Amino acid sequence: MEITDELRIKINIAVGKKYKHGFDFQWEKLRQGYSNDKWLLKLRDGTPLAIAKFYKNDLILPSEFRFENEKKALELFQRRYAPELITSIEHKAIVYGYIPGIELSNSSINSHYAQNILQILNMITDEGKATAKLEDVINFYDRLIKNYETLAKKGDEDIAKLKTATSEITDLIEQNNSELTYIHGDLVPANIIAQGEVIYLIDWEYFRTELPIFDKVYFNYYANKHNLSIRLDLNDVDKQLYAAYENLVMMLDKLWWKYCQLPPPKDCGFSPRTRKR
């Protein structure tokens, strides 16, 4: 999206008020993503203060939907295991405090962080149980499938496989409804920041209702793709449930590569990659 002078001024004022450093900051482009762009706001001496995240691309999931998800997550979890929310602007941008640390996409990261991640996921689970509804899961996957169908070639068998995978998931959720809760939804290693022994999660735009196993399977899938040693323990998970979610994650990854790669024709995304934050 276009970052207007008016939008920059609003963000500079919000960050300036938060950190009491005036209203003039250096803006450094961190990356051009598939569903968002990020800018680092720094003092003139280079000290990082905040991240301004701008949502774009409605092809897979609407930017407004992702904005609302992330805003809700930051409001719930900020300063515990998510960055502090500084301001949000009209479904266009969210600005949050910069978290110094090491991304878990770093191949030298110690595997003992797996326990720290699991502790955070358990706390997220406890937070969401009271309000989670099966219809939210169904609506999410219905929207995802519908939007992929607009991108796909007619008769694409992978869309049919995605429908089958999500149908199996919703059937299993009905059998495990008491476990339905909040999930991060995009738990790739690059979205986990280690600050000493403390773990923070960033990029919450796919925050939603689901069974908590999704985050664990999703993390392990991408940790394996990036040849990282760290894995989350799934030994106590029902084998049928594990197989169903592993299949779903593989289908999401396959469809993303098939229809949402940069460069053109499409600039979209559900399946993140290792990236500079």
In this model, does residue 109 exceed pLDDT 80?
A: no
User: What is the per-residue pLDDT for 264?
Assistant: 40
The reported pTM is 0.91
Q: Provide the pLDDT for residue 112.
A: 84
Res 32: pLDDT:
66
Domains of the chain plus CATH, in order, are 5-97 (3.30.200.20), 102-259 (3.90.1200.10)
Higher confidence at residue 97 or residue 24?
A: 97
pLDDT score recorded for residue 93: 96
pLDDT tens-digit map of 180-234: 999 999 999 999 999 988 999 999 999 999 999 999 999 999 999 988 889 999 9
CB 186 within 8 A of CB 206: yes
What mean pLDDT is reported for the chain? 89
Residue 106's pLDDT band, with cuts at 50, 70 and 90, is confident
Tell me the mean pLDDT in the region 99-125.
88
Mean pLDDT for the stretch of residues 1-25: 92
Backbone φ/ψ region at 7: left (φ over 0), alpha (ψ -120 to 50), beta: alpha
For residues 182 and 69, the answer to whether their CB atoms sit within 8 Å is no
Read off the pLDDT of residues 248-259 as tens digits, 9 standing for 90 and up.
Answer: 999 999 998 888
In percent, the amount of the chain with pLDDT more than 90 equals: 69
Closest by alpha carbon to 96, among 11, 4, 206, 195?
A: 11
> pLDDT tens digits for 134-168?
999 999 999 999 999 998 888 899 999 999 999 99
% of the chain residues with pLDDT over 70:
92
Q: How confident is the model at residue 11 (pLDDT cuts 50, 70, 90)?
A: very high
Average pLDDT over residues 164-179: 91
d(CA 32, CA 56): 10
Q: Is 174 exposed, middle or buried (CB count within 10 Å of its CB: 0-12, 13-18, 19+)?
A: exposed
Position 59 confidence tier, pLDDT thresholds 50, 70, 90: confident
